[in-house]
């Protein structure tokens, strides 16, 4: 079992990145509904095997609007970045 493991959702909207649900060891303590205008949701996964080891951070795409085009996503990434710049 790892020392620490959590996930945080981030939703890409026409207004920028919006912070979503936070889960600690798979338990969502801070449930946040996906904004209706979301085009893409990504998840930051952080795991630490011990209190002395570095965090291992990975990102994955969780959801993409069926109405979103690749061009829309690409343009929003140009404007707001492919990942949120301020994450907790």
For residue 5, with 0-12 CB atoms within 10 Å meaning exposed, 13-18 middle and 19 or more buried, which class applies?
middle
Using the predicted structure, report yes or no on whether residue 87 has a pLDDT greater than 70: no
11 within 8 A of 41, measured Cβ to Cβ: yes
- Largest Cα–Cα distance in the chain? 44
Distance CA 84, CA 67 (A): 22
Domain residues of the chain, as ranges? 4-80
Using the predicted structure, report yes or no on whether residue 88 has a pLDDT greater than 90: no
Tens digit of pLDDT for each residue in 19-61? Answer: 999 999 889 977 999 999 999 999 999 999 888 889 999 999 9
Structure-block tokens of residue 36: 């209706």
């Amino acid at each position: 079992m790892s020392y620490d493991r959590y996930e945080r959702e981030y939703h890409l909207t026409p207004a920028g990145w919006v912070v979503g649900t936070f889960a600690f060891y798979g338990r969502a303590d801070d449930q946040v509904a996906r904004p209706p205008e979301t085009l893409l949701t990504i998840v930051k996964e952080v795991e630490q095997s011990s209190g002395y080891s570095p965090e291992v951070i990975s990102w994955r795409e969780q959801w993409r609007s069926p109405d979103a085009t690749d061009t829309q996503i690409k343009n929003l990434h140009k404007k707001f970045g492919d990942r949120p710049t301020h994450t907790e």
